[in-house]
Structure 1
């Protein structure tokens, strides 16, 4: 994610040293809960209705809601000319591809397993950052990547070996995770001129255009009429809370906490996704699922959190001043 520029984060630390951490930890907990429970909600939605139509509804609600938040904060919705081209490109990769692959992947596999594969994203982002952001490939990143690949193998191999098994759902979720990782690296690499709320709103608005057109041309908008009560509740939940509140909450978390602390919130999301899917959808908790989940969480912890807990080596005098501030 791009670094937040929320004005509250610029206030002196001494004036809110007690309030900000409390608010941040509440947001972290709520983010893990709402993004985690979004997986069974999305599964309920795509069981009843066309995935194109479902995602189109999510885009309209998310972009519209975030734009209202931006206007409520007296922020302009004008796109700086220099941001337009990179905005379109990142929106198509970071938003459009993620939403399409994840929605269709959910139609082909259990929601709990889908969430595990989706949250291998930080592992792929750490690899891509070596190439595009010139970050070092450390031993911890290699270990984290190995754990993530092992988790994928545990989930994918039985699908290939099972009679009539279809690995396409897992392949789509992996594609979604990689697209999210590419988009995340691009968001970090591009010097945006917009506030993060504006950026998120326009990402959803632009990224949603191809999906809305596809829903009208090749989707089945009439499938809305086929929604059962659980499916309708899933659509409402996914379109409003994760698409609007969770985007805002993530930007706020980044403005309150260092990146490594914010990463802790992502570690809990697939855990909540697996267990909430078992509770709401009745999906069985197989040993392979729990082992894969443990490997992904361990890999994310090693890549995102552990480096900040280890003693830092002093920088060489000849180090580049920009890189030494990372």
Structure 2
């Protein structure tokens, strides 16, 4: 046991496995929470508790406040990464299975690559282009199959919302690189979540004021699990890991999240796993792997 703890590489991978497991099962709890309250109300509770927990960690670590000129950029990241992403995801979860939703959202690296070409001046190599096309084909296989199978309109709209959420997440990553790259990631995460939560609270008040909210033991557990554990604590550990592992390994390891999300949704929520989802997921994972690994090789070549 002592030897295991001293094996830093093995410990890092153990932490990655635990984090991605927690993020995967969080999708099930996000879906289950809709039986107790509206999607925006749950998001407000979740990220409210998550933001408070993250800010307490920042205070405990005695981190300084961001520079004044960076506050506006942090607000933008908060709107893109927290407000838009999770309002759309939670609304989409009303009509789309949790497992499928997690797969669609984790197409984010594909959209990040597209946006990085436009706004960061990155070039698309042949391998990266192939990866993007493969990933897009996988996404079309998942969503397009539903479209041609004449599923209900709400499901198609829900899937479209989650795609937009993935694009917004990718945009927040690019914006961070443009405007906030020099700031500590944990500091940015804490304050962007704070501002993003304000946007979610505003949406909840406007859209769900007066709707029933059942704060029972189970629903409170969902809020605490997704807000404190999956958001605040897991992100804190994740940022520590990012200082110890390379970005490609980090990016590819997040592909475990939709895999776990699909598995737990099947086990706990009895959601069906169709062949279109399996084949589409494989193509998306392959596409992201190709774009990330080819990009890393290019950086090494420079």
- TM beyond 0.5: yes
Q: 2:76 aligns with which of 62, 80, 89?
A: 89
Counterpart Cα distance in 2 of 1:221 and 1:232: 19
Deviation digits for residues 163-200 of structure 1 (CA, Å, limit 9, x no counterpart): 53431110011000000000011112224554222211
Q: 1:116 aligns with which of 86, 97, 103?
A: 103
* Partner in structure 2 of residue 269 of structure 1: 257
Q: 1:103 aligns with which of 90, 98, 119?
A: 90
Q: 2:248 aligns with which of 260, 279, 283?
A: 260
Contact 1:263 1:305 (8 Å CA) reproduced: no
Counterpart Cα distance in 2 of 1:254 and 1:296: 23
Unaligned runs of 5+ in 2: 1-5
Shifted more, 233-242 versus 217-226: the winner is 217-226
Instruction: Provide closer, same or farther for how the CA distance between residues 135 and 205 of structure 1 changes in structure 2, counting only shifts above 3 A.
Output: same
Contact 1:215 1:221 (8 Å CA) reproduced: no
* Partner in structure 1 of residue 188 of structure 2: 199
Counterpart Cα distance in 2 of 1:83 and 1:215: 27
Counterpart Cα distance in 2 of 1:47 and 1:149: 33
Describe how 1:98-247 pairs up with structure 2 within 5 A: 98-161=85-148, 162=150, 164-166=152-154, 167-192=156-181, 194-220=183-209, 223-225=212-214, 229=218, 231-247=219-235
Contact 2:105 2:166 (8 Å CA) reproduced: yes
Counterpart Cα distance in 2 of 1:152 and 1:143: 14
Counterpart Cα distance in 1 of 2:210 and 2:275: 39
Unaligned runs of 5+ in 1: 1-17, 316-323
Contact 2:73 2:180 (8 Å CA) reproduced: no
Cα deviation, residue 19, structure 1: 4.8
Partner of 2:254: helix, strand, or coil?
Answer: helix
Counterpart Cα distance in 2 of 1:30 and 1:96: 26
Cα deviation, residue 217, structure 1: 3.4
Contact 1:116 1:292 (8 Å CA) reproduced: no
Counterpart Cα distance in 1 of 2:224 and 2:77: 26
TM-score, normalised relative to structure 2? 0.90
Instruction: Provide closer, same or farther for how the CA distance between residues 164 and 258 of structure 1 changes in structure 2, counting only shifts above 3 A.
Output: closer
Contact 1:140 1:303 (8 Å CA) reproduced: yes
Partner of 1:135: helix, strand, or coil?
Answer: coil
Q: How many residues align?
A: 296
Counterpart Cα distance in 2 of 1:155 and 1:201: 34
Counterpart Cα distance in 2 of 1:284 and 1:291: 14
TM-score, normalised relative to structure 1? 0.84
* Partner in structure 2 of residue 318 of structure 1: none
Deviation digits for residues 278-306 of structure 1 (CA, Å, limit 9, x no counterpart): 01110011111111111111111111235
Corresponding position: 1:298 with 2:286: yes
Counterpart Cα distance in 2 of 1:130 and 1:194: 23
* Partner in structure 2 of residue 61 of structure 1: 49
Contact 1:70 1:197 (8 Å CA) reproduced: yes
Counterpart Cα distance in 2 of 1:108 and 1:82: 41
Superposition CA RMSD, Å: 2.3
Counterpart Cα distance in 2 of 1:115 and 1:44: 14
Counterpart Cα distance in 1 of 2:151 and 2:261: 27
Cα deviation, residue 46, structure 1: 1.9
Instruction: Provide closer, same or farther for how the CA distance between residues 136 and 111 of structure 1 changes in structure 2, counting only shifts above 3 A.
Output: same
